[in-house]
Amino acid sequence: MQAVLRVSGWLLLLQGVAGLGDALWNWWGWAHGLLVVNVVPALKGYEVFGSIVIGVLGFALLSVAGSLRREGEA
């Protein structure tokens, strides 16, 4: 469970940071179709907000994975 949360957290955090960089500074033009915020039609026009939310969710999953690890050690 911890490994799934950690991998999912890193992927969401990466998507959030990359989406934010793409929305604000037009980075990674070649990866435009790989970013979640550019593929989901409901986020059209809300790419910056969507990227921030995705990044925060990724950070939250990483935090939960870290707390599970500490509980297992105690």
* Span 17-58, pLDDT tens digits: 999 988 888 876 777 788 999 899 999 999 999 999 999 999
Instruction: Show the CA angle centred on residue 40, arms to residues 53 and 18, nearest 5°.
Output: 50
Place of tokens 């980075």: 27
pTM of the prediction? 0.85
Q: What are phi and psi of 40, to 5 degrees?
A: -80, 120
Contacts of 55 (CB under 8 A, 6+ apart): 12, 13, 15, 16, 17, 19, 20
Q: Is residue 24 classed as helix, strand or coil in its secondary structure? A: helix
Return d(Cα 55, Cα 27) in angstroms, integer.
17
